[in-house]
Chains A and B, each alone.
Chain A
Amino acid sequence: MPRSRRLSGTAALWLAPSGIGVAAFFLAPLLVLVWLTTQSWDLLTPPRWAGGANLGALGDGAFGHALGMTAIIGAIALVVQLGGGFLLAELLMLRLAGTRLVGTLLLLPWLIAPLAVGVLARWFAAPSDGVIASALGRRFDAVVDPVAAPVLIAAVVAWQGTGFAALVYTAALRAIPTDLHRMAQLDGLTRAGISRRIDWPLVAPTTAFLGVIGVVQAFGLYDLIVPLTGGGPDGATETVAVLVVRNAWEFFDVGRASVLAVGSVAVEAVLIAVIVLWGRRRS
């Protein structure tokens, strides 16, 4: 490993493209976003100074509701992804026949566009000619049911992400020394006991990593919802990402949308920090 030194010419040159990319298209936009929170702007007429007037957006019910909905959908999906992913990974570790085929199958949902998955799910949930309605043999509209709609969204998110979690867990389980398992077997632990008492605690850093990814996905949840519920019924499945996009591009209130965006980043950052700290303590 080369020792740290001063930035050399080659290093500066090779780092320039990505550095410019991050500075111009991530850091600079964040500064612009902070400035936008102080403006009153409908994207048409020139922006006007609004001071702290937009901050009220954080206090009204819509933001709290969207945060709650993001949390509910994200939490249900995450529990299924982590639990199902870990279980599948343990099964893959048994090296049963067809393990590679199962591994490939598990990756497929992760590769499909969330928008396309949302369209597919919308058909599954279509009230009369959808798959769920056909299976039930009666009319059933999950999308207008304020309880069924978020559960449906969470189920679809979990369908997309569980296989990916399983593959990440498989990599973590492979790194556990086999001696550890042999010793546990000698101590009389069953295979299920080894899973629970040895494997699960040891893959805590992976669980934390997947937890961070789950939080990031929940706060970005948009593509899937647009074709599936459109944020409805009556805003019931509006996540924070949907709320921000609506405020900016449907209600043309850029200042308000910016305040909501900054607010959601702040909440997301706290959640990620908590998960990272939990993962550090467990590793």
Chain B
Amino acid sequence: MRRRILPRRLGSLALLVIVGAVVLGPLSAMVTTAFTRPTQFAAQGIGLPAPWTSENFAALLSDPDVLIRPALITLAVAGILATVQTVTAVLAAYVFIRLPFRGSRVLLALYVGSYLAPPVVTFLPLYVVFARVGLIGTFWVLFVPFALASPYAILLLVQSFRSIPSEILDAAELDGASHGSVLRRIVLPLTLPTVGIVVLVSAVSAWNSYLWPRLASGVAFPQIQVAIGALQSQYDSNWTLVMAGTTLAVVPPLLAAAVIQRHLWRPAESSAWTA
């Protein structure tokens, strides 16, 4: 057995190094370039900054309209979407699991189906209708079409709620607990990691969205990705500046990932007690 330990060590190191290089290589190139002086970058291209400078970030942040305002707008949209989508998804998922009715499976399939259609297919008619009622170019249009239903969130929560043994919930109902208190006191505490993932995924996808924000309110209320897209076309090949902006746009989802990370492996572990 001892002979097998060394290859295992080497194998795990190799896997870590390769995955690390492929994933972190491009990201670290982005970050180091963001901290490089434009003159140094022009002279020698990619490389370690000497000296490290924050001038690219300072240039971007000096005018609040370039990135700060788009970031605040996006944070507001992400906060609204994460909150409302999670609440409506929790309620819907509870109905699909605990209060199924004739046709509820078809309805769930319809929810999932709406997730499969390419976004542009609904964006075109949505744009036309919102233009008709004069909402294009407003803050509202950024979140109104997506707040009420997130098929992804509903599906994830349905699967999570299904893993709770129904005897526990039946017993609570026999004791006279209302659906509201079963949801609040039993279902939510048991599925908290998944609910957390739903909140974060909603917020991250709002932060990352580009096409609808650009079409619907790209000039008046630009979201962060719209601002980054504009930055690239405006400062074409001014890579230190563009990479500084891209770094700022990439950081929040990665911070979110650091929060998710601890819970990511939990659903698999917690599924043990259902067995």
B204 within 8 A of A: yes
A76 to chain B, nearest CB (A): 17
A14-B94, A131-B29 are contacts. A32–B120 as well, Cβ < 8 Å? no
Residues of B within 8 A of A262 (CB): 121
A103-B264, A105-B23 are contacts. A22–B100 as well, Cβ < 8 Å? no
Residues of A within 8 A of B91 (CB): 14-15, 17-18
Residues of B within 8 A of A11 (CB): 95, 99, 101
Tell me whether B118 and A220 are in contact (CB under 8 A).
yes
A20 within 8 A of B: yes
- Interface residues of A, count at CB 8 A: 89
Residues of B within 8 A of A113 (CB): 207-210, 225, 228, 249-250, 253
Tell me whether A25 and B122 are in contact (CB under 8 A).
yes
A29-B129, A113-B253, A124-B26 are contacts. A8–B15 as well, Cβ < 8 Å? no
B211 within 8 A of A: yes
> What are 26 A-B pairs at a CB distance below 8 A?
A2-B166, A2-B170, A15-B91, A17-B92, A20-B148, A22-B149, A29-B124, A30-B122, A33-B124, A97-B9, A98-B15, A104-B264, A105-B24, A106-B19, A107-B260, A108-B27, A108-B257, A111-B204, A112-B208, A113-B208, A115-B210, A116-B228, A116-B250, A120-B243, A126-B239, A245-B120
B153 to chain A, nearest CB (A): 9
A25-B122, A108-B254 are contacts. A123–B242 as well, Cβ < 8 Å? yes
A241 within 8 A of B: yes
Residues of B within 8 A of A244 (CB): 120-121, 124
Tell me whether A18 and B118 are in contact (CB under 8 A).
no
B110 within 8 A of A: yes
Q: Complex: how many Å from CA A63 to CA B74?
A: 34
- B111 to A, closest residue via Cβ: A22
- B169 to A, closest residue via Cβ: A2
Q: Complex: how many Å from CA A51 to CA B116?
A: 28
- A222 to B, closest residue via Cβ: B211
